[in-house]
Amino acid sequence: MQEEIVNRVASSALITFDLEDYYPEGQRIILDIKDWLYEGIVLKEKDFRMYVADHSWEQYQDAYVALHCSTDAIVPAWAFMLITTKLQPYAKQIVLGDRVLLETVLYSAVLETLNISSFEGKSVIIKGCSHKPVPENAYIWATQKLQGVAKSIMYGEACSSVPLYKKK
């Protein structure tokens, strides 16, 4: 007589915390200003202001924007501030940096305001694999936030997890 196969993972009390569930949907745009600089490295104020004035800012409607310069130019802070004044009416979020920084800032805001009361006293597994660009810092912040309420925290998948924390 064969024994019934029981899926212990499905019947466990583990709650999965998937950071992808909190991914802020929306277009991400990297605005590289190198083409607005003389020979890609020198900011000439008059020319730069002309580029900013003539640029079509409506294309950034409801987008998350990272301001960036891909050359080794020394760009004064006011240049990015000027661009921000034009982006502000359209973009959802503006950062100075690359896509990783943009995603990090977005996840920081989401996790800071996240209500985690449903994880109180529970065994939580922070899902490790993701198809969306979840920054590494988000895993750190999720762990910090959950440690205040969870009974235990693991990382990975239910079938092969790494124990991280157990409340004493």
Q: What is the pLDDT of residues 1-37, one digit of tens each?
A: 677 654 444 446 899 999 999 999 999 999 999 999 9
Question: Who's near 14: CB < 8 A, 6+ residues apart?
Answer: 123, 124, 125, 154, 158
Q: Specify if 3 maps to a domain.
A: no
Residues 119 and 77 in one domain: no
Describe the strand order of the beta sheet including 160-166 as a list of residue ranges.
15-17, 123-127, 152-157, 160-166
Q: Whole-structure pTM over 0.95, yes or no?
A: no
| Whether residue 34 is found in the same domain as residue 19 | no
Instruction: Label the pairing between strands 152-157 and 28-32.
Output: unpaired
First to last CA, the chain: 43
Contact 19, 134 (CB under 8 A): yes
Instruction: Supply the DSSP symbol for 38.
Output: B
The structural domain count of the chain equals 2
Question: What is the extent of the structural domain holding 131?
Answer: 15-24+103-166
pLDDT at site 4: 66
Average of per-residue pLDDT across 145-150: 95
**C-alpha R_g of the chain:** 22
